């Protein structure tokens, strides 16, 4: 029992030490931190709209509630000051003929209630502004205009947050693993992607970036060097009919960065494959981008995806997402270079070989027959 637990613990430590840092998480979030930025953080206030939209919901709702409560309380203080200056409060013992700036403001609480009623246009009619003070009339106009601005901005920010195309991107899912196997006689890297909604993404485009550390001939080390990875779909790479799960694949040829990798060495490689899917949401016409990433431990050599689409007795097509990331082992060359050499050897066998030692000599025939 003790030896079993020790093996499990040792394996866990080995896997944890081998765990790689990734730039893009599986759900598409970027794992990057900015340090020693010379510009002040107040520059984000210049683009306040984008800043509000990028905030998390808990911060956004805190700002939403604080903006309304703060404005109500601020204008409540101003209404109290107006009543105090004009001596409308009960502690000043106003005369019977005294006309207050605002009817029925007796203290800070009633001033706050009047500010609330004014800004949200409740209008109970119990408290109202009179024509006695120009200051009160100006304050009423100013609060009404500012209240409309706050309502428009905060309600628009919440509506835009709800309808952001980033939420639509969460209904696009990629397979947990990428696989490498033969497809159409070529060694390919395959990834499965599915649309969980029946509404389509218009003008979808799939591409990838391979992130790795490279050293230039000049000796410069480039971290997160990006290499383009071209993905292909049998129906075409542009304007995908994305109603059912698709299997995208990258052909591992001489121009592919995976060409010199093998089944035995891929786990020793240091790379991160980031896959992007760009498209336009059919309902809102807003563009969205879905992304995920794969590290060497998530690339399975010698496997293919299990079938996922079937046809029911009623004539409908059924997609079984239980097999979405399920893989099946298949016979696969252990490297793309070996497959390439094998194909070249078969091509030479079909063409035949020339014998360089063969020399064609002409023979002159003479007739020895005499009549």
What secondary structure, in 3-state letters, does 270-300 show? Answer: CEEEEEEEEEEECCCCCEEEEEEEECHHHEE
User: Taking the CA of residue 78 as centre, how many other CA atoms within 13 Å lie in the half-sphere pointing to its CB?
Assistant: 17
Cα distance between residue 210 and residue 226, in whole Å: 6
Token duo for residue 358 = 């063969």
Nearest one of 234, 233, 246 to 200, comparing CA atoms: 246
pLDDT, position 370: 45
pLDDT, position 139: 94
Contact 269, 261 (CB under 8 A): yes
Which position has the token pair 């060497």? 296
- Give the predicted TM-score (pTM) of the model: 0.69
pLDDT, position 293: 92
- Residue ranges of domains in the chain, CATH in brackets: 48-163 (1.10.287.70), 168-346 (2.60.40.1400)
**DSSP notation for 237-268:** SBS--TTS-EEEEEE-STTSTTTT-BTTTGGG
Token duo for residue 53 = 């939209």
Cα distance between residue 105 and residue 314, in whole Å: 73
What parts of the chain have a pLDDT lower than 70?
1-20, 36-42, 165, 234-239, 340-371
Nearest one of 81, 87, 82 to 135, comparing CA atoms: 82
Cα distance between residue 143 and residue 335, in whole Å: 73
For residue 314, give Cα distances in angstroms to 310, 317, 320.
Answer: 12, 9, 16
Residues shown for the chain? 371
List helix spans (H) across the chain: 2-17, 48-54, 57-85, 108-119, 134-162, 165-169, 336-351
């Amino acid at each position: 029992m003790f030896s079993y637990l020790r093996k499990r613990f040792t394996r866990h430590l080995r896997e944890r030490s081998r765990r790689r840092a990734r730039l893009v998480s599986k759900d598409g979030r970027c794992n990057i931190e900015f340090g020693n930025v010379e510009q002040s953080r107040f520059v984000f206030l210049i683009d306040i709209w984008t800043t509000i939209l990028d905030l998390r919901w808990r911060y956004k709702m805190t700002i939403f509630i604080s903006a309304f409560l703060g404005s109500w309380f601020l204008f409540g203080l101003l209404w109290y000051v107006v009543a105090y200056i004009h001596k409308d409060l009960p502690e000043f013992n106003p005369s019977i003929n005294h006309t207050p700036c605002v009817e029925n403001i007796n203290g800070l609480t009633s001033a706050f209630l009047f500010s609330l009623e004014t800004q949200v246009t409740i209008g109970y009619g119990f408290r109202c502004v009179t024509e006695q003070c120009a200051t009160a009339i100006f304050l009423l106009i100013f609060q009404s205009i500012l209240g409309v601005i706050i309502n428009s901005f905060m309600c628009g920010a919440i509506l835009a947050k709800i309808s952001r195309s980033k939420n639509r991107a969460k209904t696009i899912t990629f397979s947990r693993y990428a696989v490498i196997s033969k497809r159409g006689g070529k060694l390919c890297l395959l990834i499965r992607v599915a649309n969980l909604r029946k509404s389509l993404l218009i003008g979808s485009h799939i591409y990838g970036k391979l992130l790795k550390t490279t050293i230039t001939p000049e000796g410069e080390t480039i971290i997160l060097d990006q290499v383009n990875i071209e993905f292909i779909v049998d129906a075409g790479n542009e304007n995908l009919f994305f109603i059912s799960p698709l299997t995208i694949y990258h052909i591992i040829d001489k121009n592919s960065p995976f060409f010199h990798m093998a089944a035995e060495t891929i786990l020793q490689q240091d790379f991160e494959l980031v896959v992007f899917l760009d498209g336009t949401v059919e309902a809102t016409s807003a563009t969205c981008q879905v992304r995920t990433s794969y590290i060497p431990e998530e690339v399975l050599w010698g496997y293919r995806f299990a079938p996922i689409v079937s046809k029911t007795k009623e004539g409908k097509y059924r997609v079984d997402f239980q097999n979405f990331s399920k893989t099946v082992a298949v016979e696969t060359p252990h490297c793309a270079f070996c497959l390439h050499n094998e194909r070249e050897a078969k091509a030479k066998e079909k063409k035949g070989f020339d014998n360089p030692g063969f020399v064609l000599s002409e023979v002159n025939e003479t007739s020895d027959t005499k009549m």
